[in-house]
Amino acid sequence: MALRTTTASLAVLTLADARFPGGGHAHSGGLEEAVHRGAVSDPRQLREFLHGRLHGAGAQAAVFAAAAAHAAARRVHPHHWSRLDAEFDARTPSPAQRAASRAQGRGTFRAGRAAWPSEVLDELLTITGSPHHPVVVGVLLGAGASGTPVEAAFVTAYLSVSGPASAAVRLLGLDPFAANAAVAALEHEAEGVAEAAARSAGESPEDLPGTSAPALDLLAQEHQRHHREEVRLFAS
Amino acid sequence: MQAEHRDHVHGSDGHRHPVDFDPTAAGPDPFPPEGVGGRPLRIGIGGPVGSGKTALTAALCRTLGEELELAVVTNDIYTTEDADFLRQAGVLERERIEAVQTGACPHTAIRDDITANLDAVERLCERYSTLDLVLVESGGDNLTAVFSRGLADVQVFVVDVAGGDKVPRKGGPGVTTADLLVINKVDLAERVGADMEVMLADAHRMRGELPVLAQSLTDDPAASAAADWVRQQLAAHRSAVGPAAG
């Protein structure tokens, strides 16, 4: 495994840490809606949900995080960030998921700028004040901090499941050891997702792979609709 | 508990103060606030569930709304209930109130990861470029929940008489370090058997020179004393950073 031969930088660990103050704690990645519908109520169902998250939203985020880290290290023309931004939008059909990604991207940018400032990060902000989350992670690791495309992909793949697992503990009172074990059990799958993402990191934005997870799209939309009508604890 | 006769000396000016053995008595925040150049003053309003944070926020809006450009951010554990309450109370236009979701962790959203709250403050500042004051009301939480200095310039901690007269004695960072401690619902003291003298004495003992305010919004719906305190904070903020329009 490629990841086993490298020592993760402190930047990688910090960005993946649940204590990173980038606003992620208020997002459940569709888990709250799934709980509301009775689709997730125990550790076995949480493992299934996380498996879907990893290969759906997680794989998509990993592809763009790796591409952004690759592009940031090469100091691409700022126009490249517009293209990545538009292509991530195109691969995210749910407006609620796009909004959640931009909200976390903006928060990660704010926290990341204080820790790992770079010219590339500032260039990204000239494109949009709320860049997508995986693109920000990729730029932080590729430009300002010390990280590779595969590490950027691994961070976002991990975050795609660690957030919902934490939300499950808070929403269901689930055994935290079981929830943590559910995340840890995805180690090889998450590495596979990150390595696949790294293989496409150098492709032009239009050619980057797209994953599809209609159930997550629908959960995100329903979550937002319920927000307006009744109780919701999480922003997504 | 303070040992009155065992003062110690420190610092270049050799000033003295009593040794304090209470681990919860943190005293005033020793860190200078972040730079605040030209932006509105941000006041955090925190405290336990049901102590009257929203009622105080509404009263301040009612009293100060005429003389100041102000806006409010609410942090509810559940719904947008507090924001809805403020809107229905008619104390502020709807567009001046932002509600944030806290992911079931209200203290995280005001202290450890202030992203959602800063986003809400920035949205309000973009909408109203001449804001003087943003009140950030926390979700009801425990006695250790305080605002990050990255979010609130100064903060008010609200406890109430009906929550028990032992609360100030329990201390915790909210009671000991908030810039203003408000003891609410003093009109209920007799009904709930709370000893106001003990409560105030405990509060002053825990807080040293930091101010304590006992109030009843039933007797004084305008929250006059709290509003005066806010005016003082705003004056200090302006003299530190110059006029908000700059």
Domains and CATH numbers, chain A: 24-229 (1.10.4190.10)
Query: What percent of chain B has a predicted confidence (pLDDT) above 90?
Result: 64
User: What average pLDDT does range B215-224 have in this prediction?
Assistant: 96
User: In terms of pLDDT, which residue wins out, B210 or B84?
Assistant: B210
DSSP letter string, chain B? -EEEEEEEEETTTTEEEEEE--TT---S--SPPPP-TTSPEEEEEE-STTSSHHHHHHHHHHHHTTTS-EEEEEEESSSSHHHHHHHHHTSS-GGGEEEEE-TT-HHIIIII--HHHHHHHHHHHHH-TT--EEEEEPPS--TT----TTT-SEEEEEEEGGG-TTHHHH--HHHHH-SEEEEE-GGGHHHHT--HHHHHHHHHHHHTTS-EEE--TTT-TT-HHHHHHHHHHHHHHHHHH--TT-
Q: Which has the higher per-residue pLDDT, B176 or B81? A: B176
Q: What is the tens place of the pLDDT at every residue in B2-47?
A: 444 444 555 445 555 555 566 555 555 555 554 455 799 999 999 9
- Confidence class of residue B106 from pLDDT cuts 50, 70 and 90? confident
Q: From first to last of the 236 residues of chain A, give the pLDDT tens digit.
A: 445 445 678 999 999 999 999 999 999 999 999 999 999 999 999 999 999 999 999 999 999 999 999 999 999 999 999 999 999 999 999 999 999 999 999 999 999 999 999 999 999 999 998 999 999 999 999 997 789 999 999 999 999 999 999 999 999 999 999 999 999 999 999 999 999 999 999 999 999 999 989 999 999 999 988 877 777 788 89
Q: Any binding-site annotation on B51?
A: yes
Distance from CA of A98 to the nearest CA of B (A): 16
Q: Is B113 left (phi over 0), alpha (psi -120 to 50) or beta?
A: beta
Q: Looking at residue B94, what is its pLDDT? A: 86
Of A24, A111, A231, the CB nearest to B79: A231
* The pLDDT of residue B73: 95
pLDDT, position B158: 97
- Closest-CA residue of chain B to A105: B115
B53 annotated binding-site participant? yes
| Neighbouring-strand partners of residue B74 | B99, B137
pLDDT of residue B105: 84
Using CB atoms, which residue from B101, B112, B115 is nearest to A110? Answer: B115
Residue of B nearest to A27 (CA): B103
B112 contacts A233? CB cut-off 8 A: no
| Domains of chain B: residue spans and CATH | 38-231 (3.40.50.300)
**pLDDT in the model for residue B3:** 44
Distance of alpha carbon A121 from the chain centroid: 18
In this prediction, residues B204-227 reach a mean pLDDT of: 96
Tell me the pLDDT of chain B averaged across its residues. Answer: 85
- CB < 8 Å to A22, chain B: 113, 115
Q: What does the pLDDT average to over B164-192?
A: 94
Which has the closest alpha carbon to B194: B216, B165, B218? B165
Burial class (CB in 10 A: 0-12, 13-18, 19+), A45: middle
B54 is in an annotated binding site: yes
Token pair recorded at residue B119: 């986003």
pLDDT band at B134 (very low <50, low <70, confident <90, very high): very high
What are the pLDDT digits (tens) for B135-171?
999 988 888 889 999 999 999 999 999 998 999 999 8
Chain B contact probe: residue of A14, A101, A233, A236 with most B CBs at under 10 A: A233
Q: Considering only CA atoms, which of A214, A171, A158, A141 is closest in space to residue A26? A: A171
Whether residue B47 is annotated as binding a ligand: the answer is yes
